[in-house]
Amino acid sequence: AQSVTQLGSHVSVSEGALVLLRCNYSSSVPPYLFWYVQYPNQGLQLLLKYTTGATLVKGINGFEAEFKKSETSFHLTKPSAHMSDAAEYFCAVTSPNNAGNMLTFGGGTRLMVKP
């Protein structure tokens, strides 16, 4: 079984500050990891994903995440927050042998950006 924990249901940063959204996973097999973002009244949009290869992955809108197997983490970062980054962010995990591509989501983190 797989699970995802996102520490902090709400994170508030100032515009221009570093964004760090935490994600820890549990998986008995090598994981595939995803970050999705949800803007108000919109669907879940893929930010980035890790499957194999380079552990630092870059996504859209200046976000990146690093897969750290030893820490079972996949934290999302952005060097400088923008007002438009305010949204809810979801970390998700699946596995290479999951033919149905079932994603297991974390509880989500709502990012607020202060002017």
Does position 53 interact with another protein (CB under 8 A)? The reply is no
Does position 46 interact with another protein (CB under 8 A)? The reply is yes
Does position 100 interact with another protein (CB under 8 A)? The reply is yes
The only residue of 1, 42, 53, 115 in contact with another protein, by rule CB under 8 A: 42
Binding range to another protein, per CB under 8 A, among 15-23, 55-63, 73-81, 86-94: 86-94
Q: What is the 3-state secondary structure (H, E, C) of the chain?
A: CCEEECCCCEEEEECCCCEEECCEEECCCCCEEEEEEECCCCCEEEEEEECCCCCEEECHHHCEEEEEHHHCEEEEEECCCCHHHCEEEEEEEECCCCCCCCCEECCCEEEEEEC
Does position 43 interact with another protein (CB under 8 A)? The reply is yes
Name the residues that contact another protein, by CB under 8 A: 32, 36, 41-46, 49, 51, 90, 92, 94-108
